Amino acid sequence: MTDHDVRFEIRGVTKDDRADLLELARFLDSVNLPNDAAAMEPIIRRSERSFSGTEGDPRRREHVFVLYDRQEQRAVGTSLIVGQLGRRDAPYIYFDVTKEERYSQTLDRYFVHDVLSIGYSYNGPTEIGGLVMHPEYRRNREKLGMQISYIRFLFIAMHRADFQNHVLAELLPPLESDGTSHLWEAVGRHFTGMSYREADRLSRRNKEFIRGLFPHGEIYASLLPEAAQRVIGEVGRETKGVAKLLQRIGFRYVNRVDPFDGGPHFAAPTDQISLIQNAEALSLELGAVGEGARRHLVARDIDGPPWFRACAIPAEVSEGRIRVPERASEALQAADGDPVWALPLD
């Protein structure tokens, strides 16, 4: 690899990325990216079927992207798209958070209570998640975290008909250093008899126990310990940057939280997300670009594994064409005139 090559590329995950993906999962260990070798296998297989199109129903597709360091030959970041969160066999489950005002004229006392009400959706939104960057590559001058985050919106624009009319992001709330959730300890444990980690692992395979055991009525947050009240709808320290990015491109907190840990749900109408609006289909042109060239995320579908490739590269866009340096050809597996999609990064 020379100094003129593209060092980082984004592509669909393959079985060759298994070890790197497990290493990244150590920094998150979520439902979408579990730190569990056995659980990781079906995630990789489903992603490969999703990118190749052999998973016929777009709602069941789960695309896992990896950011690959071609110089060090390892995956250093990942993110994913779930075609539809909430189907008849696996509902989207949440707590709605509402305000209830109470006043006594006799006592002249007024209170506002947060009320949690469990909800189920069987025709839910597209979900984005699983965003992880290896700590060694964070705050890189190439803004690698932005690249692996933005790629999901570029991909949705490329395949708009395959995705729902709303996009959801579930953010992590503040957790204890050992991963304990204050909301789970105050609510979930009492209704399931399980630890947060046990329930989280089970929910990856089966959510029936939530409907069977969780309370169906309202829960007044004011009855919970203060530590549990504080995390409801709060963004954890590690995901504050993600929340700011989402708000910048059109997402808003929708007064819904995860029923396990109270993490906030951010959502946006798909066609109103600025990154999706800014993506465009173009024809590729390889050649020299000027010093004022604007950096773009350029992507294309390919006919074989890994089925999708992208890279961030200086580019000039004009009259339906995008001109990029010759060095992008290998990373994209593309030639002059090939159809691509592009999203400005700067």
pLDDT per residue as tens digits for the range 194-206: 998 889 888 877 8
Query: How many structural domains compose the chain?
Result: 1
Residue type, 203: S
**pLDDT attached to residue 1:** 47
The count of residues in the chain is 346
Instruction: Tell whether 330 is covered by a domain.
Output: no
Q: Phi and psi dihedrals of 73, rounded to 5?
A: 55, 55
Among 47, 53, 300, which residue's Cα sits nearest to residue 154? 300
**pLDDT attached to residue 4:** 56
Strands 109-121 and 126-133: unpaired
Instruction: Tell whether 117 is covered by a domain.
Output: yes
Q: Where are the alpha helices (DSSP H) in the chain?
A: 18-25, 37-52, 144-158, 182-183, 189-192, 196-205, 208-213, 226-231, 240-249, 274-278, 328-332
Instruction: Tell whether 230 is covered by a domain.
Output: yes
**pLDDT attached to residue 36:** 84
Q: Phi and psi dihedrals of 265, rounded to 5?
A: -105, 125
pLDDT (tens, 9 = 90+) of the chain, 346 residues, equals: 444 579 999 999 999 999 999 999 888 777 778 888 888 999 999 999 999 999 999 999 999 999 999 999 999 999 999 999 998 888 999 999 999 999 999 999 999 999 999 999 999 999 999 999 999 998 888 999 999 999 999 999 999 999 999 999 999 899 888 778 999 999 999 999 999 888 988 887 788 899 899 988 899 999 999 999 999 999 998 889 899 999 999 999 999 999 999 999 999 999 999 999 999 999 999 999 998 899 999 999 999 999 999 999 999 999 999 999 999 999 999 999 999 999 999 7
Distance between CA atoms of 293 and 176, rounded to whole angstroms? Answer: 45
Distance between CA atoms of 49 and 61, rounded to whole angstroms? Answer: 8
Instruction: Tell whether 115 is covered by a domain.
Output: yes
Among 105, 88, 143, 122, which residue's Cα sits nearest to residue 297? 143
Q: Which domain holds residue 247?
A: 86-123+176-277
Whether omega before 306 lies within 30 degrees of 0, making that bond cis, reads yes
Instruction: Identify the helix (H) or strand (E) that includes residue 100.
Output: strand 92-104
Instruction: Tell whether 335 is covered by a domain.
Output: no
Instruction: Tell whether 260 is covered by a domain.
Output: yes
Distance between CA atoms of 312 and 142, rounded to whole angstroms? Answer: 9
Instruction: Identify the helix (H) or strand (E) that includes residue 311.
Output: strand 308-318
Note the pTM of the prediction, 2 decimals.
0.94
The CA-based dihedral angle spanning residues 295, 138, 299, 277, taken in that order and rounded to the nearest 10 degrees: -70
**pLDDT attached to residue 3:** 45
**pLDDT attached to residue 31:** 72
Instruction: Tell whether 187 is covered by a domain.
Output: yes
Residue indicated by tokens 């009319």? 165
**Tokens matching residue 207:** 């959510």
Instruction: Tell whether 62 is covered by a domain.
Output: no
* Residues 130 and 64 sit within 8 Å (Cβ to Cβ): yes
**pLDDT single digits (tens) 131-183:** 999 999 988 889 999 999 999 999 999 999 999 999 999 998 998 887 789 99
Among 74, 11, 8, 85, which residue's Cα sits nearest to residue 48? 11
Quick one: DSSP state of residue 234? P
Distance between CA atoms of 301 and 278, rounded to whole angstroms? Answer: 19
Cα angle 288, 292, 295; round to 5: 80
Provide the 3-class DSSP secondary structure of residue 304: coil
* Residues 281 and 313 sit within 8 Å (Cβ to Cβ): no
Provide the 3-class DSSP secondary structure of residue 135: helix
Among 228, 189, 186, 231, which residue's Cα sits nearest to residue 209? 189
DSSP string covering 193-204: ---HHHHHHHHH
